[in-house]
A and B are shown apart, each in its own frame.
Chain A
Amino acid sequence: NAGVTQTPKFQVLKTGQSMTLQCAQDMNHNSMYWYRQDPGMGLRLIYYSASEGTTDKGEVPNGYNVSRLNKREFSLRLESAAPSQTSVYFCAGGRGDYEQYFGPGTRLTVT
């Protein structure tokens, strides 16, 4: 039982490149979330998916797209990376209003 897994663990991109961050959960959660964590800013919600087939914007969605591929998988795409997107990205799974369970994170640097 792996919980929430994320790939890759580390990534370096050049400005303008694109990439997709992958997230999978085996906890049978309906809801999945993408956050970014920056020093002094705390965790900020980028996008979430309340159930398979639905996605909604969070606090900081600009520059990102998401896909809820199935109940287990929720991916985050950066179409044209910018230095301001340098951050640590966390995926989480949960059940609506209840607690969330986080993955180990992806450390992304955009140069």
Chain B
Amino acid sequence: EDQVTQSPEALRLQEGESSSLNCSYTVSGLRGLFWYRQDPGKGPEFLFTLYSAGEEKEKERLKATLTKKESFLHITAPKPEDSATYLCAVNTGNQFYFGTGTSLTVIP
């Protein structure tokens, strides 16, 4: 069964305290792995796409990496405005499956 699991469910960081979010997946044919950011009461906002193991993408304080079993979203020196829920999704060709997200709070 295709499955996407994100950990931790919630993460509280002090401003400037770097950390990583994990997305592990079990799918029968990965066509792409996606990271989104979702603010309360809004739709998910696209961040990154990764297609093959070893690939990395960066944007400001965020860096996404991919292996054959999991992806990490590294947050370097986070700021309060990085507080949001981060969603991971995989595309198997016919379907997109989402994880339940990591709720990140960055404390000033």
Contact = CB atoms under 8 A, between A and B. Distances in A.
Interface of A: 4, 33, 35, 40-45, 56, 58-59, 90, 92, 97-105
A97 B98 contact: no
A100 B98 contact: no
Contacts of B97: 45, 59
Given A43-B89, A45-B95, A100 B100 contact: no
Nearest to A38: B100
Given A40-B100, A92-B43, 13 more contacts: A4-B43, A35-B98, A41-B100, A42-B99, A44-B98, A56-B94, A90-B43, A98-B49, A102-B44, A102-B45, A104-B42, A105-B42, A105-B43
B32 interface: yes
B43 A102 contact: yes
A33 B43 contact: no
Residue from A42, A44, A45, A56 having most chain B Cβ neighbours under 10 A = A42
A42 B87 contact: yes
Contacts of B95: 45, 58-59
A97 B49 CA distance: 10
